[in-house]
């Protein structure tokens, strides 16, 4: 299920711009961003998204709420993105299992990998909480993509388009703090 980060993006001193990710989110026709703040994406993504008028930001109390909200929006034909931390993803496994996987709904999740070392593949991280994410997604049959550097940003729009075309969930793993 994995599509890994491109080679250049694996450099520890690589870079990732929040503005380019946001441009992809907008190009993907995302109308709602549903979020619990995440340390990795707080400054580079969530703060500028909060200052914009579109997409509309819905702040939620807990990540599994967001799975339900995005499902309801999907039935209405409105695209949304759940922007969370991997701790929140782990906390929401049952909701993702029931709503996204078993009901086959296009729940698109952008997940900041808390404490992942820049340039290090998630499964090679020294952090247990990072290493287990991709194996769990594999076990659940959920497609995911590593977004580690600018070269990976063009994966975002096709991943979201495909999720909606196939009515399947997708996870975009943000591997370093976007500037």
Q: Which residues bind other proteins (CB under 8 A)?
A: 32, 56, 58-62, 64-78, 80, 94-95, 97-100, 102-103
Shortest distance (Å) from residue 78 CB to other proteins: 4
Cβ nearer to other proteins, comparing 58 with 114: 58
Q: Which residues on neighbouring strands pair with residue 172, listed in sequence order?
A: 110, 145
Cβ nearer to other proteins, comparing 27 with 103: 103
Cβ nearer to other proteins, comparing 53 with 76: 76
Cβ nearer to other proteins, comparing 75 with 128: 75
**Cα dihedral: 47, 60, 91, 24 (round 10):** -40
Shortest distance (Å) from residue 93 CB to other proteins: 10
CA neighbours closer than 13 Å in the CB half-sphere of residue 71: 17
Does an H or E element contain 82, and which? strand 79-85
In 3D space, the residue among 169, 143, 178, 119 whose CA is nearest the CA of residue 3 turns out to be: 143
Shortest distance (Å) from residue 105 CB to other proteins: 8
Locate all alpha helices (DSSP H) within 3-124, ordered by sequence: 18-27, 47-51, 63-75, 86-91, 93-95
Shortest distance (Å) from residue 69 CB to other proteins: 4
């Amino acid at each position: 299920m994995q599509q890994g980060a491109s080679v250049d993006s694996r450099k520890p001193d690589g870079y990732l711009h929040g503005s380019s990710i946001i441009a992809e989110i907008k190009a993907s026709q995302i109308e709602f961003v549903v979020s619990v703040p995440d340390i990795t994406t707080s400054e580079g993504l969530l703060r500028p998204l909060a200052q914009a008028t579109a997409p509309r930001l819905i702040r939620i109390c807990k990540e599994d709420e967001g799975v339900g909200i995005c499902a309801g929006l999907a039935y209405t034909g409105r695209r949304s993105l759940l922007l969370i931390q991997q701790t929140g993803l782990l906390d929401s496994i049952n909701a993702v299992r029931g709503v996204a996987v078993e009901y086959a709904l296009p729940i698109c999740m952008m997940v900041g990998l808390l404490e992942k070392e820049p340039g290090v593949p998630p499964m090679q991280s020294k952090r247990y909480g990072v290493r287990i994410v991709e194996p769990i997604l594999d076990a659940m049959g959920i497609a995911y993509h590593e977004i580690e550097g600018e070269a990976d940003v063009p994966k975002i729009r096709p991943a979201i388009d495909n999720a909606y075309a196939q009515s399947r969930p997708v996870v975009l793993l943000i591997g370093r703090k976007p500037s």
